Amino acid sequence: MPELDFPLILEVEQLEQNLHDENLLLVDLSQGATYVQYHIPTAVYLDYAWIVRIEHPRMGLLPDPAQLTNVLGSLGITPETHVVTYDDEGGGRACRFLWTLEAAGHKRFSLLNGGLRAWSNEGHEISSRICYPTPGEFQVDMDFSGVATRQFILDNLSNDEVVLLDVRSPAEFKGEKVFAQRGGHIPGAVNIEWTEAMDKERELRLKPEAELRSMLESRGITQDKTVVVYCQTHHRSAHTYIMLKSLGYQRVKGYPGSWSDWGNEPNTPIEH
């Protein structure tokens, strides 16, 4: 069976044509109650909590290799598997899984554009039959090229080649809404709320490429820079990470823990 040659952003029509390919693994990161009620046929369920690590008050940390081995092995992912993922919220949880897969060394994956919403609202077949994956052995080969640490950010605060993209709400960015010991944002960060990339007229698919490029470039987020994306836990910003990758941005990093890491550290610099 030839390997699937899917783009990073996969349209529902292309998924429908390949739904039963043996090299395809479709992973649903919707709410559990949604999956039980309805999902795309052949999709297996993955609980978001399994792909993040918590060290209170820091949330959304990258799991250790042992946890990744267990979770990805339970899904039966092999080097030939092309993982397509989606959720019911516009892609945040699904993209966090893709970012995690990449960090674990698996590079064959796609985001279903518009997710469950686009699939079901546009009349494609849905199912309530629970699908169970065939477990296997997943070989974790950690790749930290897409991962930013707090130290990396501290070391590059005055580096013009590195741009920080904060995708939280403007109120969080300004420190008016605080979900950590301290509020505000990392000095020099640019704020574009993550939902700005979603097309509300097209079932939360990504907006057209030209529109996204214009939005980014007008804020100084250009392809020649290293772009570090963050939010509160690297859930929302994982969506931004995949969006940037889909536009050809080569040097993108996600900050696991995000503001729950930075804002709960007593000595990190902060702007309001």
Confidence of residue 18 (pLDDT cuts 50, 70, 90): very high
Q: What pLDDT is recorded for position 172?
A: 98
pLDDT at 1 exceeding the cut of 60: no
pLDDT at 239 exceeding the cut of 60: yes
How does pLDDT run across 155-171, given as a tens digit for each residue? 999 999 999 999 999 99
- Amino acid type, 5: D
pLDDT at 119 exceeding the cut of 60: yes
CATH topology of domain 145-262: Oxidized Rhodanese; domain 1 (3.40.250)
pLDDT at 2 exceeding the cut of 90: no
Matching fold, domains 9-142 and 145-262: yes
73-83: average pLDDT: 95
The DSSP letter of residue 195 is G
Domain 9-142 has CATH 3.40.250.10: yes
Q: What pLDDT is recorded for position 6?
A: 96
Share of residues in the chain with pLDDT > 70 (%): 99
Which residue ranges make up each domain of the chain? 9-142, 145-262
Q: Are 186 and 166 in contact (CB under 8 A)?
A: yes
- For the chain, give the longest Cα–Cα distance: 55
Confidence of residue 100 (pLDDT cuts 50, 70, 90): very high
Which helix (H) or strand (E) is 55 found in, with range? strand 53-55
How does pLDDT run across 205-226, given as a tens digit for each residue? 999 999 999 999 999 999 999 9
> Which pTM was predicted?
0.98
Q: Which of 2-6, 89-93, 264-268 has the lowest mean pLDDT?
A: 2-6
CA distance to 25, 49, 164, 184, per residue, from 83 (Å): 5, 19, 29, 36
Residue 229 CA neighbour count, 13 Å, CB half: 28
DSSP 100-143: HHHHTT---EEEETTHHHHHHHTT---B---B------------
For residue 207, give every residue at least 6 positions away whose Cβ sits within 8 Å of its Cβ, in sequence order, or none: 197, 198, 199, 215
Q: What pLDDT is recorded for position 138?
A: 95
Q: What pLDDT is recorded for position 4?
A: 85
Q: What's the whole-number average pLDDT of the chain?
A: 97
28-52: average pLDDT: 98
How does pLDDT run across 179-207, given as a tens digit for each residue? 999 999 999 999 999 999 999 999 999 99
Distance in angstroms (rounded) separating the CA atoms of residues 74 and 82: 15
Catalytic residue among 116, 231, 238, 243: 231
Q: Is 95 a catalytic residue?
A: no
